[in-house]
Amino acid sequence: MLGRFNDPLEILAVAIAFLIAITVHEYAHAFASDHLGDPTPRLSGRLTLNPFAHLDLLGTLMILFAPFGWAKPVAFDPFNLRNPRRDTAIISLAGPLANISSAILFSVLLRIGFLFLGAHVLLYFLEIIIILNVNLAVFNLIPIHPLDGFKIVEGFLPEDTARQWAQLESLGYIMILLLIFPLFGHSPVLSFIQPITSFILNLLLPNAGII
């Protein structure tokens, strides 16, 4: 999807929208951690909506040239949590939930904008924000380390099964690379999540398929 942007203004819009999406995502992780008893993100300056506190330069550049990108992960100390495994899952889930919530909010603004502005460049920018928030949320729910989905699944498994699941963590980065990069012209992970993101975007975008 993102690889189709070639105009410099479109690339700038994608970069700004990506900053908004990752800021919401990482702030939600930090907020959940702080709320559940671990001050580590707050003490390290991550409990903020300042995008530069969450920015990873390489991860941001990648969004301009590849169909994915990333931010600096929010570090937290599970030993400060009341129920470490469950609370870790909640902290992990907070990021994707924040992105979906943001997408819904911007969808409402987009629909209001269409009523008063018609076709307008601002509405095009809102569409990009919605698309990036939905894609970031769905992608992070994939249950492979270091994505949020891995810890979410671990947090709701029985203890014995969770220990076995945690052993898969060391394979995470290899699996991510194998799933992201195209095999025979197709990226397996993007082929998997595209029907899910398309379904959500069809609900949120008044004119789905414009971008």
Catalytic residues: 26
Distances (CA, A) of 116 to 22, 127, 130, 202: 29, 16, 19, 21
Residue given tokens 């300042």 in the structure block: 50
Tokens of 73: 């992960």
Residue 190 carries which DSSP code?
H
> CA 106, CA 28: separation in Å to the nearest integer?
17
| Integer Rg of the chain from CA | 18
For 186, the 3-state DSSP assignment is: strand
Residues whose CB is less than 8 angstroms from the CB of residue 76 and which lie 6 or more positions away in sequence, other chains included: 29, 33, 38, 40, 41, 88, 91
Check: CB of residue 189 under 8 Å from CB of residue 179: yes
At CA 142, angle to CA 189 and CA 44, rounded to 5?
120
